């Protein structure tokens, strides 16, 4: 549809896919297991936010190549791409075909667009959350940000689905400044998603029959008062909720939040070596993180499997050797923090880590696909790239594969307070269209 005020037709899209794909929480961290837990990747949270707040745009999420080309045939003045760094090669193919089909303006956004080397391919680059700028393109402004409903589905490979989950963003941006993280370059000033909008989306999830909420803020709790207000809303609605949160904050709030419905968390462990945490500027202490994991495990033990987690852990710091990495992964396995997303230390554009590693050792990798945190892309002083990737696979197998059936067939039903709820969630997840669009009417 051509917008009447600007006279322009704008299509925003993501990378093309094979038609099925998953977010990188569990699926890509269980090496060698054919049956794996998954989080279906059908919707783009960023594009849904834009569509909710700037309805003049049209969005196309994770299309197949054919769907994308067919969409281009409709004729567009602007095509914009929301992408991550490891998707750059496919995005450049998409840009190329859009230009050949006569699209006069190409936009780039999301974290991938921070990459200076690819910016020249775009006529306009958006750094940070783009609703305001895009609304201005249509000659208006976003008065108050509205959070759209975002529903994800937990399942397994082979198409088995277990539960629908409401996704929530309560703040955006972070300025803490961890040296490996792109967020401070993307959006350094944290801002609140208005509480009334958070409340409205939670009511929607409740009406849809959802029992769980996953909070995917970069750093939940950064804006303390707002976070406590959100926690109260989650509690009032009786949700079981899981935030992405820093270990130090969770350590402070664990008991109180547990009473308010917290059932698990996604935390950045990053390393069990204090010098590594200092190297990346994490501003946390290893002993505090270990203490938190102990407390979470105690909660599992004493109160049934009530609190579970996903921990993020990085290998390949500059001083590490094969032996020290194996040692730290064994220690991690003993601590058993839950499911672990293992990564290789990867420099990302516009981070202090990128500048440091490039100057000190050199970033040799030219294939952007390999900047997915699963490959070694810089000249490590002690470990070869192939060996590092071998260590990563070994760690995944050691730490995660054994969890698989426990997670799917015991822990998940326990989260949901018994089989009555378990079957209700399974039915709901299987009846639901994972790519359906839900938006609130514009005020």
Rounded distance between C-alpha atoms, residue 282 and residue 266, angstroms: 16
Tell whether residue 176 is a contact of ligand SF4 (CB under 6 A). yes
Tell whether residue 184 is a contact of ligand SF4 (CB under 6 A). yes
Beta bridge partners of 155: 38, 161
β 161-168/212-220 pair status: parallel
Q: How many chain residues touch ligand SF4 (CB under 6 A)?
A: 10
The CA–CA distances, whole Å, from 391 to 26, 325, 362 equal 18, 8, 22
Here the tokens at position 21 are 């794909």
Q: For residues 184 and 347, which CB has a smaller minimum distance to ligand SF4 in the complex?
A: 184
Tell whether residue 191 is a contact of ligand SF4 (CB under 6 A). no
- Site residues for ligand SF4, 208-267, by CB under 6 A, read 218-219, 246
Nearest distance in Å: CB 347, ligand SF4? 14
Q: For residues 62 and 220, which CB has a smaller minimum distance to ligand SF4 in the complex?
A: 220
Annotate each residue in 120-159 with x if it binds ligand SF4 (CB under 6 A) or - if it does not, as one string.
----------------------------------------
Rounded distance between C-alpha atoms, residue 338 and residue 311, angstroms: 7
Q: For residues 27 and 218, which CB has a smaller minimum distance to ligand SF4 in the complex?
A: 218
Q: For residues 3 and 217, which CB has a smaller minimum distance to ligand SF4 in the complex?
A: 217
Give the one residue of 177, 381, 386, 390 binding ligand SF4; rule: CB under 6 A.
Answer: 177
Query: Computed from CA positions of residues 109, 110, 112, 117, in that sequence, does the dihedral angle turn out positive or negative?
Result: positive
**232-235 contacts, C-beta under 8 A, 24 or more apart:** 232/260, 233/195, 233/198, 233/199, 233/202, 234/202, 234/260, 234/261, 235/260, 235/261
Q: For residues 154 and 214, which CB has a smaller minimum distance to ligand SF4 in the complex?
A: 214
Rounded distance between C-alpha atoms, residue 76 and residue 104, angstroms: 8
Nearest distance in Å: CB 177, ligand SF4? 6
Tell whether residue 390 is a contact of ligand SF4 (CB under 6 A). no
Tell whether residue 434 is a contact of ligand SF4 (CB under 6 A). no
Nearest distance in Å: CB 175, ligand SF4? 7
Q: For residues 237 and 246, which CB has a smaller minimum distance to ligand SF4 in the complex?
A: 246
Nearest distance in Å: CB 256, ligand SF4? 21
Torsion of CA 15, 20, 21, 22, to 10 degrees: 140
- Site residues for ligand SF4, 294-323, by CB under 6 A, read none
Q: For residues 142 and 176, which CB has a smaller minimum distance to ligand SF4 in the complex?
A: 176
Name the nearest CA neighbour of 126 among 62, 187, 217, 53.
Answer: 187
Q: Which residues of 98-117 are buried (b: 16+ CB within 10 A; e: fewer)?
A: beeeebebbbbbbbbbbbee
| DSSP string across 107-131 | EEESGGGG-GGGGGG-SEE--S--H
Give the one residue of 59, 174, 286, 396 binding ligand SF4; rule: CB under 6 A.
Answer: 174
CB under 6 A: which stretch of 151-159, 177-185, 230-238, 349-357 binds ligand SF4? Answer: 177-185
Nearest distance in Å: CB 222, ligand SF4? 8
β 171-172/191-192 pair status: antiparallel
3-state secondary structure of 331: helix
Tell whether residue 44 is a contact of ligand SF4 (CB under 6 A). no
Give the one residue of 86, 183, 328, 341 binding ligand SF4; rule: CB under 6 A.
Answer: 183
The count of other CB atoms within 10 Å of the CB of residue 73 is: 8
Nearest distance in Å: CB 236, ligand SF4? 28
Interface residues with ligand SF4 (CB under 6 A)?
Answer: 174, 176-178, 181, 183-184, 218-219, 246
């Amino acid at each position: 549809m051509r917008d009447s005020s600007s006279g322009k037709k704008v299509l925003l899209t993501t990378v093309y896919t094979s038609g099925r794909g998953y977010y990188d929480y569990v699926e890509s961290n269980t090496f060698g297991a054919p049956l794996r837990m998954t989080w279906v990747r059908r919707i783009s949270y960023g594009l849904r936010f834009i569509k909710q707040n700037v309805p003049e745009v049209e969005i196309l999420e994770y299309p197949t190549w054919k769907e994308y080309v067919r969409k281009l045939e409709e004729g567009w003045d602007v095509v914009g791409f929301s992408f991550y760094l490891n998707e750059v090669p496919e995005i450049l193919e998409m840009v190329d075909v859009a230009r050949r089909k006569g699209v006069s303006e190409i936009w780039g956004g999301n974290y991938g667009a921070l990459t200076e080397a690819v910016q020249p391919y775009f006529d306009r680059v958006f750094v940070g959350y783009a609703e305001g700028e895009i609304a201005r393109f249509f000659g208006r402004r976003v008065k108050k940000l509205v959070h759209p409903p975002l529903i994800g589905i937990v399942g397994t490979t082979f198409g088995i689905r277990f539960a629908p989950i409401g996704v929530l963003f309560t703040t955006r941006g972070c300025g803490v400044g961890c040296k490996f993280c792109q967020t401070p370059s993307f959006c350094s000033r944290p801002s609140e998603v208005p509480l009334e909008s958070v409340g409205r989306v939670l009511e929607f999830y409740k009406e849809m029959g959802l029992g769980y909420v996953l909070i995917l803020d970069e750093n939940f709790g950064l804006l303390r008062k707002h976070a406590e207000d959100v926690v109260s809303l989650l509690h009032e609605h009786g949700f079981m909720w899981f935030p992405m949160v820093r270990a130090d904050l969770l350590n402070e709030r664990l008991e109180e939040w547990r009473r308010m419905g917290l059932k698990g968390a996604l935390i950045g462990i990053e390393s069990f070596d204090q010098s590594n945490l200092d190297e990346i500027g994490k501003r946390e202490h290893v002993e505090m993180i270990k203490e938190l994991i102990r407390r979470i495990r105690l909660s599992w033990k004493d109160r049934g499997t009530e609190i579970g987690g996903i921990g993020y852990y990085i290998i390949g710091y500059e001083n590490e050797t094969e032996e020290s990495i194996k040692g730290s992964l064994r220690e991690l396995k003993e601590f058993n923090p839950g499911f672990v997303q293992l990564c290789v230390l990867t420099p990302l554009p516009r981070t202090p880590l990128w500048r440091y590693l490039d100057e000190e050792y050199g970033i040799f990798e030219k294939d952007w696909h390999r900047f997915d945190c699963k490959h070694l892309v810089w000249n490590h002083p002690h470990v070869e790239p192939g060996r590092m990737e071998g260590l990563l696979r070994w760690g995944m197998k050691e730490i995660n594969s054994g969890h698989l059936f426990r997670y799917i067939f015991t822990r998940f039903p326990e989260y949901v307070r018994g089989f009555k709820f378990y079957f209700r969630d399974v039915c709901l997840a299987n009846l639901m269209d994972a790519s359906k669009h839900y938006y609130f009417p514009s005020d």
